Amino acid sequence: MKINGNTIRPGMVIEHQDRLWRAVKTQHTQPGKGGAYLQVELKDLQSGTKLNQRFRASESVERAILEQNDYTYLYSDGEMFTFMHVETYEQIELSAEAIGEDQVLFLQENMKIVVESHDDTPLGVQLPNTVILEVTEADAVIKGQTASSSYKPALLENGLKTQVPPFIAAGTRIVVNTEDGSYVERAKD
């Protein structure tokens, strides 16, 4: 499917130079001289290499259509992560690079995810927007700091560090955003 070069958004997969690329960052630029363009940071889905490319509105780009299938995360053997198709029970293994180094931290057993594939080749996964994690370490509350909205550092069970409100203590289960690892709310369980 052809799209204009200036309509590329982060997360889109495009075909460029006979390869599949995922747009990581985009930035509209209007130089004082010449036409406006979109500066796009692309990541090669096979090799992981990055490329900065300029696209003008007049250029057309081929957007790749990805198949999306529901899978359940089963387990990890350290290097590879095993997922099972919800309907066919077929199992696939993906590396941490294919999933995304920052997203691997949020995987939990029996988590429902979406695996994106192109021509029956898995390219990546989409995690749920939020996950529930337990706080393992949190700094003590300092009396008198409640006048302004202040956050304190906390360590979660998956090794991720995030900022939480002062009332969150070690052992509390919280909801965390999988996109940036930020605190959303206290878990309601």
> What confidence tens digit (pLDDT) does each residue in 6-21 have?
888 877 888 888 888 8
Q: Which residues contact 17 (CB under 8 A, 6 or more apart)?
A: none
67-126 and 130-186 share one CATH topology? yes
Within a 10 A sphere around the Cβ of 152, how many other Cβ atoms?
A: 16
pLDDT-derived band at 143 (thresholds 50, 70, 90) equals low
User: What architecture does CATH give domain 2-63?
Assistant: Roll (2.30)
107 exposure class (CB count in 10 Å sphere: 0-12, 13-18, 19+): buried
pTM over 0.95: no
Q: Is 90 strand, coil or helix?
A: coil
Radius of gyration of the chain (CA): 20
Fold of 130-186: OB fold (Dihydrolipoamide Acetyltransferase, E2P) (2.40.50)
User: Using alpha carbons only, what angle is made at residue 48 by residues 45 and 53, rounded to the nearest 5 degrees?
Assistant: 80
Residue 70 clears pLDDT 90, i.e. is over it: yes
CATH of domain 67-126: 2.40.50.140
Dist. CA 145–CA 151, nearest whole Å: 10
Dist. CA 123–CA 97, nearest whole Å: 10
In the predicted model, what is the mean pLDDT of residues 49-77?
Answer: 90
pLDDT-derived band at 98 (thresholds 50, 70, 90) equals confident
Q: Tell which wins on pLDDT, 165 or 78.
A: 165
Domain residue spans in the chain?
A: 2-63, 67-126, 130-186
